[in-house]
Amino acid sequence: MNQTDQTLATDQKTVLVGVTDIFFYTKVRDALMSKGYKIERARTQQDIADKASSMTPSAFILNMNDETLNAFQALETLKADASLKSIPILAFANHEEVDTFNRARTLGVTKIVSRNEFSARLKDLVEEVAGSHA
């Protein structure tokens, strides 16, 4: 496999993670890297737009409860850009926030789960969502 083939293979398994909590990000990163994913962290709205357009990730993970990163604005940004709107999005939120779940679905999230389910099934959920994009 030459350098270009390796780069293409890596890009196809890149996950953009919109999470500002470093401990939670580390947990996500460690879990996904063990499955061969390359992880990119986005901490701001500009990060999300710039990184999503420069690398076209195979999936985007978004914490809907992250108060530092406006998740709904991030969704609107991604879905407004024709080249980014097909990126599958796995979102998670506190299970009791029905309005957040409904609004996320309306804005085009591929799958939204509770924070507990996300933590328990992270690898399977990413495979499911990223696989829907392949």
- Domain ranges in the chain are 3-131
Q: Hey, what CATH class is 3-131 in?
A: alpha beta
Q: What is the largest CA-CA distance in the chain?
A: 49
Task: Determine the 3-state secondary structure of 34 from DSSP.
Answer: coil
Q: Is 5 a residue whose pLDDT tops 80?
A: no
- CA-to-CA dists, residue 118 to 33, 43, 61, 82, angstroms: 16, 19, 10, 28
Summarize pLDDT for 18-70 with one digit per residue, the tens.
988 899 899 999 999 998 999 999 998 888 888 988 888 999 999 999 888 89
Q: Which two tokens stand for residue 4?
A: 């270009």
Q: Would the pTM of this model clear 0.85, i.e. be above it?
A: yes
Task: Determine the 3-state secondary structure of 66 from DSSP.
Answer: coil
Q: Output 94 or 56, whichever has higher pLDDT.
A: 94
**Average pLDDT of the chain?**
86
